[in-house]
Structure 1
Amino acid sequence: MFPWLDHSGRFSAFKLMVFIAILVPGCVVLWPVLFHGGVSLPIKDAIHGSGDWAIRMLLISLAITPFRRVTKFTKIVLVRRMVGLAAMGYALCHLLLYCIDQSFDISRIATEIAVRIYLTIGFVAVMGLVVLGVTSTNGMMRRLGRNWGRLHKASYFIAILGILHFFMQSKVDVTEATLMAGFYLWLMFSRFASKMNWKMKSPVTLLGLSVAASLATAAVEYAWFAIATGVPPLRVLQANLHWMYPPRPAWIVLFIGVLIALIPVIKQVWEKWGGAGAAQSGSGRAAARGGRARARAASR
């Protein structure tokens, strides 16, 4: 019942910290709406902010398995369901705020969702997250059996719908939408690498995934501008191939990917020097005990 308890019902400080971290963006998004009495501009900002966090939470939930494989931090699996439910919560908040902005005119809302394709895509994504949230309980896992895993793989498709909705409502400035697409591509590439039994703890494998995801991110941004806007796509492609500030999404994906590739290296160095330090400390304590024993023997 309580998100800060583990599977055995014991208090988990780690789960509590994650739960608080999940709530913070919601408070930041909703505070202007509540503080300003629900005027138009804060609601518009909150609609976009809640939608952004819904996609971010969904991608974070998808990142938990690759992160566990890279770091061997198995405890992180405890919060996967919580983060997935947070994605559903932010998506429902996104839909509710849109309904508030439309003054709860149900006929108008239904018409808009049916007529505007980007709203249709977003609504399908929200309903998909609701289905996954409702079926995320232990009881539903037992009832569905093997079908539970097949059903929850729909999260990959829901993420695509959410990112596409992000692109379509962003129109020309698709920087953050492209960044979300790049992270999603890295996550999918990592799952492919794991399925092919590539070593996910290998810096070479992780660096290769990062380069591939970065190039794919640039290709996605190029394709979007080529198909959906009047902006010259070659100019966008040239910007992706050269370093500039602020960096393009492809460079950010590469930078984050390189940091992930460094995790096994840092962990290996830490274990090597930490183990050596522990061994030296242990030998020092043994030598001290031996010296005290010899001193006692001499005193006798």
Structure 2
Amino acid sequence: MRFPWNDPRGRFSPVKAVVLAGLFLPAVWILWSMANGSGAAPGLTDIGGVGPGPTGIGGGPALPDRGLLGPAAGSAGGGLGVPAVKEALLLAGLWAIRLLALSLLITPLRVTLARPMIGQLRRMIGVAAGLYALGHLALYILYMKGDIARVLSEIWLRTYLTIGFVAVLILAVLLATSTDGMLRRLGGRAWKRLHKLVYAAALLGALHYFMQTRLEPSEATILAGVLGWAALWRLADARRPQILRKPAGLVMLALAAGLLTVAIEGAWFAFGTGIDPLKLVVANINPDVFPRPAAVVTLAALAMAGLHELARRTAPRRKPAPGRRRQPRQDIPRTATSGPGGE
């Protein structure tokens, strides 16, 4: 039996062990927040509220604070009240989309840094993203007091919930087929085609996140920009892979990802809120409001170009394979013979 902290040869991998431990930290944070019944966790107030408002796309009012296994108020006395469950619900969904975006960056990181070992982390991180997404759904059911009929009705009637539910279903399918046994059963080619659905899940998850955060979707925009960069990298790798092996190509990709991030944020404000997107463009070039999401995505992508150049310069040079030494020619004396007629 191969444990998740082992490498493909079955040996203990310290890197995989550290990453695996790190993947459990958000779960510990979520359980701690539920046990303490505190209000909004650090960072939640920065994502624009906890539910879609009346003007959101397919929104409706925010989730009602109904009683759940205790008082609705998350007081200092603790208890599993609505604020605690709502906070855990949002945290689980937030970490699901974060880890999903990280899993899509593993292959670009492996190629950029020329470190094949990094590729071993992708499945582990992808599985964690799927589990957090399922936890997000389970906490929503808990929030609704386990009323499955009510849950299904809300998912059917509210567009943002429908989108999120489809994303969770896709991740559940990918999670169920992520084992080596399913890889052998489906075959490598079919398995790869199936798991390309991760991009659809990421797109739907990002849209669901946008519709949750409403008027201040900074982190949602950054994650969407990161996903856009990963998609552009994949496209370039399929069409012009040599571009990604040069710093100039990665710099161009970073600038393209920044522009794409501006377009994503502008489209959201134009169609999702009705706010003039030109104000957003001005904000992106205003140093007083730096850094905007587009700047964050661009700088992160430029860092990838810098890491690529650093890895190239510090990589050990391969010594040429030793060849056969050419023996010096020795002239044979004319008096000697080597044929059958000689002495």
Instruction: Describe the superposition over 1:2-39 as per-residue Cα deviations: whole angstroms up to 9, x where unpaired.
Output: 21122232221111101011111121122110233322
Give the total of aligned pairs.
274
Question: Are 1:151 and 2:151 counterparts?
Answer: no
Instruction: Describe the superposition over 1:227-259 as per-residue Cα deviations: whole angstroms up to 9, x where unpaired.
Output: 110322211121113334451100000110111
Equivalents in 1 of 2:80, 2:139: separation in Å?
10
Query: Structure 1: which amino acid aligns with 2:115?
Result: F
Question: Are 1:123 and 2:165 counterparts?
Answer: yes
Equivalents in 2 of 1:244, 1:222: separation in Å?
19
Question: Are 1:58 and 2:100 counterparts?
Answer: yes
Give the CA deviation at 1:213. 0.4
Paired position in structure 2 for 1:97 = 139
SS at match of 1:127: helix
Equivalents in 2 of 1:270, 1:153: separation in Å?
33
Q: Name which of structure 1's ranges 221-230 and 37-46 shifts more when overlaid on structure 2.
A: 37-46
Query: Structure 2: which amino acid aligns with 1:150?
Result: R
Match of 2:236 among 181, 193, 218: 193
TM alignment of 1:15-30, pairs within 5 A: 15-30=16-31
Give the CA deviation at 1:271. 4.3
Equivalents in 2 of 1:92, 1:38: separation in Å?
20
Paired position in structure 2 for 1:278 = none
Equivalents in 2 of 1:129, 1:110: separation in Å?
18
CA-based RMSD: 1.6
Paired position in structure 2 for 1:295 = none
TM alignment of 1:6-45, pairs within 5 A: 6-36=7-37, 37-45=79-87
Query: Is the 1:57–1:87 contact (alpha carbons within 8 Å) kept by the matching residues of 2?
Result: yes
Paired position in structure 1 for 2:330 = none
Query: Structure 1: which amino acid aligns with 2:237?
Result: S
Structure having greater relative contact order (Cα 8 Å, sep ≥ 6) = 2
Query: Is the 2:221–2:265 contact (alpha carbons within 8 Å) kept by the matching residues of 1?
Result: yes
TM alignment of 1:1-300, pairs within 5 A: 2-36=3-37, 37-145=79-187, 146-196=189-239, 197-271=241-315
SS at match of 2:244: coil
**Please, what TM-score do these two structures have when normalized by structure 1?**
0.87
Distance change (3 Å), C-alpha of 1:168 and 1:195: same
Q: Calculate percent identity across the aligned residue pairs.
A: 43
SS at match of 1:200: helix
Give the CA deviation at 1:201. 2.7
Query: Is the 2:102–2:125 contact (alpha carbons within 8 Å) kept by the matching residues of 1?
Result: yes
Query: Is the 2:221–2:264 contact (alpha carbons within 8 Å) kept by the matching residues of 1?
Result: yes
Query: Structure 2: which amino acid aligns with 1:17?
Result: V
SS at match of 1:198: helix
Equivalents in 2 of 1:113, 1:262: separation in Å?
44
Superposed structure 1 runs of 4+ greater than 6 Å apart: none
* Structure 1 unpaired stretches of 5+: 276-300
Query: Is the 1:71–1:201 contact (alpha carbons within 8 Å) kept by the matching residues of 2?
Result: no
